[in-house]
Amino acid sequence: MSTAEYMLERAREIPAEGPVPSPCISVCRMNADTALCEGCFRTLDEIACWSMLPDAEKQAVWRQIEERAAAGASAA
């Protein structure tokens, strides 16, 4: 399973309510072409702000991760 497929699967399992888990999977490498982490598909700003975001905004980041991972999975 590729990282994109794994993150897509995780994104689809995020509950609509309650604590929102971090997307970090400890593969911390920024892709120079996409400006996204190769592990969690977040931008540097999203990574830096994560712990301060309210749950609703974390959910929004997860939706973006799902879109980014879907694009990455289809490109593989």
Query: Which sign does the torsion angle of CA 54, 58, 60, 61 carry?
Result: positive
pLDDT at 75 over 80: no
Helix orientation angle between 3-12 and 55-75, rounded to the nearest 10 degrees: 140
Distances (CA, A) of 39 to 21, 35, 56: 15, 12, 22
pLDDT at 76 over 70: no
If you average pLDDT over residues 60-70, what whole number do you get? 96
Distances (CA, A) of 69 to 15, 29, 31, 54: 18, 15, 14, 22
Q: What is the mean pLDDT of the chain?
A: 93
If you average pLDDT over residues 38-63, what whole number do you get? 97
Task: Kindly give the residue spans of alpha helices, DSSP state H, lying in the chain.
Answer: 3-12, 44-49, 55-75
